Amino acid sequence: MWKGRFEKDTSDLVQRYGESISYDWRLYRHDIRGSIAHATALKAAGILTAAELVKIKKGLTKIEKEIDSGTFEFSTQLEDIHMNIEFVLTKRIGPAGAKLHTARSRNDQVALDIRLYCREEVQQITSRLRNLQIALVGCAEQHQSAVIPGYTHLQRGQPVLFAHHLLAYVEMLDRDAARLADCLKRINVMPLGSGALAGSTIVLDRKLVAKLLDFPAVTTNSMDAISDRDFVAELMFAIALAGTHLSRLSEDVILWASAEFGFVSLSDAHTTGSSLMPQKKNPDVAELTRGKTGRLYGNLMSLLTTLKGLPMTYNRDLQEDKEPLFDSIDTIRIALDVFAEMVIAMKVNEAATMAAASDPFLLATDLADYLVKRAVPFRSAHEVIGQLTAHSLKTGIAFQDIPLEVYQSFSTAFEQDVYRVLDVTTALKARKGIGAPSPSNITRELKKWKRQLQPKASSKRK
Ligand code: ARG
């Protein structure tokens, strides 16, 4: 397509090295949509006749259908999706096709295609995040009264409702969705018309193109518009961070499914056996998700590294944005889908979580709070309960079985009602501040999330 100034063909090896059609073919719908909008602007500027525009639209639509159905033949000689489509179009419809690339470069064309693609994927990933949130809320609701120990340093800390633990992930995923929505603002800017780097002497109505493609704004610096990929990096960061959250949840699920915890059992559909050890049931989905998060980070690093040394403006290095982007998108999409499926089918062993949560030491802080409410300074209370803990460990007598006189020998502030503190239900009920896991708070939170996650009726439809 640039044969004018060249005497020799590109070497086979260079063709293999430089082709991107093997992966950027997935941009075809966006490329075609962008070309039709561009052709419409060319017609408005008097470059194309109405008849030529019709030919182009028909030709492109036909190509789109062929790619959809798998009958279109791609050629690596034509390097990328842009040239594959333009070449076949021109071969089929002649001069009208040859006019399509007027006032356009592959540089602004690919920038547009990626923006259209990212925009669509933001919606796809967001709806998958929502699905997983719904699955988590569903599981939390089903086990609303289940109590588990809350951990710090993976040591038992204080009792919480299992639902509170799951809702923590619902919060994280909500911020992931918010990050995507924010990133979308910067994706959603129309770059076409920036040309190779300096616009064009043939001036097209960029706002018309933006309107046709549903962009609320156009880019305002042609050099920036064709060379920057910060919106891709942002999207890949948002994906990587969603991966972090999934990976943490994976780690929890892996621990919970172990014999040591025994808090949950995963469905056979989401576990695998061992080829050697017949008793094994492995939480592979969670392990794979934890593992694949590494790829999400790697993909982000790969793009950032590609971008960091580029002089203005377009450099072919930029073609390296696509494979990591596509991989991150494919990875997060399936991870979110499979996780939602796994959470829905996960069984919670409430007896096991309750047994673990009945560890009396989980109420040590509540005992200290008891003293505080009787005017003992917290630091002294902390020390007293520390000594009581040591006493309990040494004698093997649990908090609720220690006689009142013994309590009083540690602090005179103890009275008969101390035993009322030593109950998980009381402990949970007392945690009623905003954001704390009292049962009434959790009921309210579950209701809130269910309302928020309800699929909204499309406002566009009349
Ligand atoms: N396949 C190329 C890419 O992904 C399209 C842009 C090519 N532009 C160029 N000047 N060679 O970046």
pLDDT digits (tens, 9 = 90+) for 59-109: 999 999 999 999 999 999 999 999 999 999 999 999 999 999 999 999 999
State the pLDDT confidence band at 279, using cuts at 50, 70 and 90.
confident
Residue 300 has pLDDT above 90, yes or no: yes
**Pocket probe mutation, ligand 1, options 84, 319, 323, 325, max atoms within 8 Å of Cβ:** 319
Q: Using a pLDDT cut of 90, give the percent of the chain over it.
A: 94
Q: Is the minimum distance from the CB of 392 to ligand 1 under 6 angstroms?
A: no
Residue 52 has pLDDT above 60, yes or no: yes
**HSE of 225, CA atoms in CB hemisphere, 13 A:** 26
**Res 458: pLDDT:** 60
Q: Can you name the residues that pair with 349 across neighbouring β-strands? A: none
Q: How many beta carbons lie within 10 A of that of residue 23, not counting itself?
A: 16
Q: Give the containing element (helix H, strand E) for 152.
A: strand 147-152
Q: Using a pLDDT cut of 70, give the percent of the chain over it.
A: 98
89 Cα: distance to centroid of ligand 1 (angstroms):
19
**Pocket probe mutation, ligand 1, options 2, 107, 223, max atoms within 8 Å of Cβ:** 107
Please provide the DSSP assignment of 138-149 as one string: HHHHHTTT-EEE
Q: Is the minimum distance from the CB of 117 to ligand 1 under 6 angstroms?
A: no
Contacts of 62-66 with CB under 8 Å at 24 or more apart are: 62/92, 63/28, 63/32, 63/88, 63/89, 64/28, 64/29, 64/32
From residue 78, give the alpha-carbon distance in Å to each of 1, 96, 199. 8, 19, 25
Q: Is the minimum distance from the CB of 108 to ligand 1 under 6 angstroms?
A: no
**Res 462: pLDDT:** 39
Average pLDDT of the residues in 175-203? 98
Q: Which residues are catalytic?
A: 153, 274
pTM of the complete model beyond 0.85: yes
Q: Is the dihedral of CA 175, 224, 317, 84 positive or negative?
A: positive
Q: Is the minimum distance from the CB of 20 to ligand 1 under 6 angstroms?
A: yes
The average confidence (pLDDT) of the chain is 96
pLDDT digits (tens, 9 = 90+) for 401-460: 999 999 999 999 999 999 999 999 999 999 999 999 999 999 999 999 999 999 876 655
Please provide the DSSP assignment of 237-263 as one string: HHHHHHHHHHHHHHHHHHHHTSTTT--
Q: Is the minimum distance from the CB of 194 to ligand 1 under 6 angstroms?
A: no
